[in-house]
């Protein structure tokens, strides 16, 4: 059994061991290359007195214990690996690459690849000596004082952080935490009172209410405690430029590949996609570091032709944006701004050029709209391209892969002769009988294509309707990802979603302000925000399934030695696999550091290490995964890259690989975003939430009621699918111990919240039942009970107020969020639960239509559109029966006299609570001119009537004795 802190020599495969001082042996103090003392002495005796990795000469060391002490000042090997990461040590871990001992090691424990590597080193030895000689001369020619000054200045610049954490002031967060604890105590006392004081006259109603209230309390805990330590962050873009963009030198900023995904151009208008692409191409970032990949998963010729027009217009738009530093850089949204566009503009030619650009954009819109009008009716013979050939994607379900590079390295320049970013059209191959995995499959295809063509170390994915609103957004993300300390631990940087075109009152909580400004800040203080599907900058290595460089140690098992548990066995097996992965990584590093080696031998070595089982059968792509800093392999043939890119998007490429299982976007749920982020953080990665003052990205939301409910239904169904999958946070990822407990609570909350619909719809029905039957779920209140109820309500109010205080969210946003939680809970979430059960038990899958992204010409015109959907029936039924219950309750009180008004107050209070929460739904149901679908009213009234009649005839909450006594006393009806 090996311990978690054990590491192995990269020459012989044995443990590194310790020196005479008890410290881990270190040979090279520059890169901390793991090598045992025996191998080090052998290298020195053979005359090789330079480090195998960094070629730094070994210092003069005796073999006695005293001299060894100078190199044993690192306490653990984990610390050595942390330091060595800064100089390029690839201590990454592939979670799915498995190697067989007999393939890698011989009987004595020495790796087979050692001989090959040694032979390549011998070939390369003379070249390295020739290179090191002039380097020494140059270093000697520089005065020592000047060297020291340069080193000190560079160290001072490196010491400046690119970002900082701004904690919430204690005067705001401490009272918030105290109230949370107090509310938890009050909840315990409240449930003790409720359970010990049953309502015998309405036992069924009382029991139902108790179950619902317990679930609500559980949901509150899941939602509240991950917000225990919220934080804010500030970035320093000027420091980023000073460090990586020095005058007179090429920019050292990391390259970024942008992903834009679209499916149906008739529901996702090409003009909106074009604006997104234009905002990306005009971003404030070095043009040679930006590449935009547009995924057309519908293989529509309309999308292709609109990108042709977009690429042509970009030659004019990009220099205009950068010359005058305009914001935002999406033309549709820039020209529609109702602000003084002359503010801060001092160039005399600005007005003239702006008018000319606006005229050009209007002509561009006319051309795009003409393409859309032409595409409304598909020709019988299919679409034909300009050269007369048939469009390959005429059958969207059966077509080859298509790639077209429009801008960038193809030689295109803007009107001023400057280089343009790369723009690539991608439509992956689709064939009948293959599972394509919708958006997640499209994103994984883009990962492979971009790795073959550009291989930027970072990936930013956007929906087709989310444009870049802040041209410096990429620089904001780089302040985290390129930070020497923080960046090594980050799998992604998530930006909040902001929206245009929403009505001022945000009737259906489209902005989701509470989630993005409260919950996500809380998660940022733990292990990082969840991935929300768009506006996210990924570390490509994290998408490949690697673990972070300084992975947390696995916890020791607490079981006794005589009775080992399954968990202990699993931990040991993971340690064993981790050790093998370190050997594999070391072999890969040695292979890459050697200049002269045989190409055939290299391909054989890659094949031997079974990378194909993980990443697929593409040597070019596999080599790109080994390049942590991005860029194309030197062996890549530019003339063959497009052919290789077509190969990696073939529909059968992912078969028998780890795509969608351990690497890339994870399959198995329509909400692949939650699942993908969850898998990364289970490996030990953390994420960061970036909220610049100017929103980084903005999108358009489906603001009408029907589309909004379908959107919520899709999210809820994805959560239910994850709940029933092997990736459920309730049981997945415990063995590694790399996911923090509060973070796990947050993920559990994201997958169990749809089940709240069951107690919610029951609780919303209880007030109507109480009013119709004259019963109540709460007995006569004592002084203690009144104090508990009052304390509970006050704690709820104070918690909300303090939450608003530290987050900056408005009361209206909080109230809208509360309202739509009820609306979505009794409709979309309820349907998601039943559809999830159907899919699990009967295998019935649900197909979702893409939400329309365009609105009517009038402002907020889409808000008043009502589309028939079964999701409208449950909330309408609840409104009707509660209104009927209120009317019946007041009628009974009028007939019952003065004493009936006291008990009526509590019942009516809960009924009005339901009605007020469903008020936005009722208002949306009426539309602009009360154009409610007749079928919705008929179904709702029918269900409410049937329910009321059945309730009067069969009252399960009144005992037989009570019913007989009532029948004797109620001989006549008092009218």
What stretches of 401-499 show up as alpha helix (H) in DSSP? 438-453, 473-481
The sheet carrying 466-468 orders its strands as 466-468, 697-700, 498-500
28 vs 26: CA distance, rounded Å? 6
Q: In the beta sheet, which residues pair with residue 296?
A: 262
| β 163-167/231-235 pair status | antiparallel
Is 297 labelled as part of a ligand binding site?
yes
| Active-site entry in 465, 578, 585, 673 | 673
For residue 647, is the peptide bond before it cis, meaning its omega torsion is within 30 degrees of 0? no
Separation of CA 457 from chain center:
17
Query: Token pair for residue 971?
Result: 């001989």
| β 490-494/536-539 pair status | antiparallel
Is 707 labelled as part of a ligand binding site?
no
Computed on alpha carbons and rounded to an integer, the radius of gyration of the chain in Å comes to 33
Query: Token pair for residue 781?
Result: 């209140």
Is 439 labelled as part of a ligand binding site?
yes
Q: In the beta sheet, which residues pair with residue 493?
A: 537, 688
- With residues binned 3-state (H G I as helix, E B as strand, rest as coil), the percentages for the chain, rounded to 5, are 55, 10, 40
Q: Report the SS3 class of residue 23.
A: coil
| CB within 8 Å of 60: residues ≥ 6 apart | none
The dihedral sign for the CA sequence 621, 626, 627, 633: negative
Backbone angles phi, psi at 328, to 5 degrees: -75, 170
Q: Report the SS3 class of residue 30.
A: coil
First-residue to last-residue Cα distance in the chain? 86
Is 521 labelled as part of a ligand binding site?
no
| CB within 8 Å of 678: residues ≥ 6 apart | 530, 727, 729, 733, 747
| β 290-296/697-700 pair status | unpaired
Is 775 labelled as part of a ligand binding site?
no
771 vs 915: CA distance, rounded Å? 14
Query: Token pair for residue 588?
Result: 């890969």
| Active-site entry in 257, 297, 465, 585 | 297
C-beta neighbour count of 679 within 10 angstroms: 24
In order, the DSSP letters of 349-364 are THHHHHHHHHHHHHHH
Is 463 labelled as part of a ligand binding site?
yes
Residue the block writes with tokens 């010491």: 159
Are residues 704 and 863 in contact, defined by beta-carbon separation less than 8 angstroms?
yes
Residue the block writes with tokens 């989630």: 515
Closest C-alpha to 446, from 202, 282, 593, 645: 645
Are residues 728 and 739 in contact, defined by beta-carbon separation less than 8 angstroms?
no
Is 145 labelled as part of a ligand binding site?
no
| CB within 8 Å of 383: residues ≥ 6 apart | 301, 390, 391, 394
Backbone angles phi, psi at 83, to 5 degrees: -70, -40
Whole-angstrom CA distances from 660 to 144, 258, 663, 677, 872 are: 54, 20, 6, 13, 35
506 is catalytic: no
105 vs 409: CA distance, rounded Å? 44
580-614 b/e (C-beta count within 10 Å ≥ 16 → b): bbbbbbbbbbbbbbbeebeeeebeebbeebbbeeb
Q: In the beta sheet, which residues pair with residue 458?
A: 256, 539
Q: In the beta sheet, which residues pair with residue 50?
A: 57
297 is catalytic: yes
770 vs 56: CA distance, rounded Å? 83
C-beta neighbour count of 656 within 10 angstroms: 10
| CB within 8 Å of 349: residues ≥ 6 apart | none
Are residues 214 and 163 in contact, defined by beta-carbon separation less than 8 angstroms?
no
Binding site listing: 261, 267-268, 297, 438-439, 463
- Catalytic positions: 297, 673
Binding site listing for Mn(2+): 439, 463
Binding site listing for UDP-alpha-D-glucose: 261, 267-268, 297, 438
């Amino acid at each position: 059994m090996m311990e978690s802190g054990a590491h192995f020599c990269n020459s012989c495969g044995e443990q590194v061991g310790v020196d005479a001082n008890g410290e881990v042996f270190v040979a090279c103090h520059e890169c901390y290359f793991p090598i045992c003392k025996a191998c080090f002495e052998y290298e020195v005796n053979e005359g090789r007195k330079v480090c195998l990795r960094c070629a730094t000469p070994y210092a003069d060391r005796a073999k006695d214990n005293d001299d060894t002490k100078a190199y044993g000042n690192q306490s653990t090997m984990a610390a050595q690996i942390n330091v060595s990461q800064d100089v390029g040590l690839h201590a990454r871990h592939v979670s799915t690459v498995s190697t067989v001992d007999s393939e890698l090691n011989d009987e004595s424990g020495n790796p087979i690849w050692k001989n090959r590597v040694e032979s390549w080193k011998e070939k390369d030895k003379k070249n390295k000596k020739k290179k090191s000689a002039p380097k020494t001369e140059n270093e000697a020619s520089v005065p020592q004082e000047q060297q020291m000054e340069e080193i000190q200045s560079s160290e001072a610049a490196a010491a400046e952080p690119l970002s900082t954490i701004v904690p919430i002031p204690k005067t705001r967060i401490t009272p918030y935490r105290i109230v949370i604890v107090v509310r938890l105590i009050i909840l315990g006392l409240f449930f003790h009172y409720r359970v010990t004081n049953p309502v015998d006259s309405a036992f069924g109603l009382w029991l139902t209410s108790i179950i619902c209230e317990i679930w609500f309390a559980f949901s509150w805990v899941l939602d509240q405690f991950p917000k225990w330590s919220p934080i804010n962050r500030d970035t320093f873009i000027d420091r980023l430029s000073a460090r990586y963009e020095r005058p007179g030198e090429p920019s050292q900023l990391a390259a970024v590949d942008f992903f834009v995904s679209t499916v149906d151009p008739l529901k996702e208008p090409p003009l909106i996609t074009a604006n997104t692409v234009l905002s990306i191409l005009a971003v404030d970032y070095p043009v040679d570091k930006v590449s935009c990949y547009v995924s057309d998963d519908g293989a529509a010729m309309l999308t292709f032709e609109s990108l042709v027009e977009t690429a042509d217009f970009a030659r004019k738009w990009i220099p205009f944006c950068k010359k005058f530093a305009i914001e935002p850089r999406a033309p549709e949204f820039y020209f529609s701004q109702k602000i003084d566009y002359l503010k801060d503009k001092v160039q005399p030619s600005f007005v003239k050029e702006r008018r000319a650009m606006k005229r050009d954009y209007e002509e561009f819109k006319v051309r795009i709209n003409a393409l859309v009008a032409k595409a409304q009716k598909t020709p019988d013979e299919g679409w034909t391209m300009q050269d007369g050939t048939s469009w390959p994607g005429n059958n969207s379900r059966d077509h080859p892969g298509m790639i077209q590079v429009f801008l960038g390295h193809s030689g295109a320049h803007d009107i001023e002769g400057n280089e343009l970013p790369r723009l690539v059209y991608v439509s992956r191959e689709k064939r009948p009988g293959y599972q394509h995995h919708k958006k997640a499959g499209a994103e994984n295809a883009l990962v492979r294509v971009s790795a073959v063509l550009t291989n930027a170390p970072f990936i930013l994915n956007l929906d087709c309707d989310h444009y870049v609103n802040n041209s410096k957004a990429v620089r904001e993300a780089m302040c985290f990802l390129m930070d020497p300390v923080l960046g090594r631990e980050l799998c992604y940087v998530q930006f909040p979603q902001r929206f245009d075109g929403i009505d001022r009152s945000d009737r259906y909580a489209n902005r989701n302000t509470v989630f993005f400004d409260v919950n996500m800040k809380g998660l940022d203080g733990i292990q990082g925000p969840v991935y929300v599907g768009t506006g996210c900058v990924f570390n490509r290595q994290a998408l490949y399934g690697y673990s972070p460089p300084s992975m947390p140690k696995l916890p020791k098992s607490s079981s006794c030695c005589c009775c080992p548990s399954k968990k202990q066995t699993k931990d040991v097996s993971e340690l064993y696999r981790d050790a093998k992965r370190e050997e594999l990584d070391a072999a890969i590093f040695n292979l890459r550091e050697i200049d002269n080696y045989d190409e055939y031998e290299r391909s054989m070595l890659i094949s031997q290490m079974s990378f194909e089982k993980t990443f697929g059968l593409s040597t070019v792509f596999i080599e790109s995964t080994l390049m942590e800093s991005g860029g194309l392999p030197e062996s890549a043939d530019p003339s063959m890259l497009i052919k290789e890119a077509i190969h990696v998007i073939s529909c059968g490429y992912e078969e028998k690989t780890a795509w969608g299982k351990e690497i890339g976007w994870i399959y198995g749920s329509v909400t692949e975003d939650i699942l993908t982020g969850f898998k990364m953080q289970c490996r030990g990665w953390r994420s960061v939430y970036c909220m610049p003052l100017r929103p980084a990205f903005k999108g358009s939301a489906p603001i009408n009621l029907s589309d909004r409910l379908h959107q919520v239904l899709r999210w809820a169904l994805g959560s239910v699918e994850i709940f029933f999958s092997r990736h459920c946070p309730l049981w997945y990822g415990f063995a590694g111990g790399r996911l923090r407990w509060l973070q796990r609570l947050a993920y559990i909350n994201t997958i169990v919240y749809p089940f709240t619909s069951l107690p919610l719809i029951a609780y919303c029905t209880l007030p109507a039942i109480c009013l119709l039957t004259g019963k109540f779920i709460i007995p006569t209140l004592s002084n203690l009970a009144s104090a508990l109820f009052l304390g509970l309500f006050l704690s709820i109010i104070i918690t909300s107020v303090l939450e608003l205080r530290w987050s900056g969210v408005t009361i209206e946003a909080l109230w809208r969020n509360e309202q739509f939680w009820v609306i979505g809970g009794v409709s979309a979430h309820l349907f998601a639960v039943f559809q999830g059960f159907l899919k699990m038990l009967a295998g019935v899958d649900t197909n979702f239509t893409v939400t329309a992204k365009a609105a009517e010409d009038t402002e907020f015109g889409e808000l008043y559109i009502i589309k028939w959907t079964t999701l409208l029936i449950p909330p309408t039924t609840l409104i009707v029966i509660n209104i009927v219950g209120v009317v019946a309750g007041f009628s009974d009180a009028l007939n019952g006299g003065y004493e009936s008004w006291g008990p009526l107050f509590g019942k009516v209070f809960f009924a009005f609570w339901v009605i007020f929460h469903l008020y936005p739904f009722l208002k949306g149901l009426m539309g602009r001119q009360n154009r409610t679908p007749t079928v919705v009213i008929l179904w709702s009234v029918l269900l409410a009537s049937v329910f009321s009649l059945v309730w009067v005839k069969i009252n399960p909450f009144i005992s037989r004795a009570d019913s007989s006594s009532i029948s004797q006393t109620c001989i006549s009806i008092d009218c």
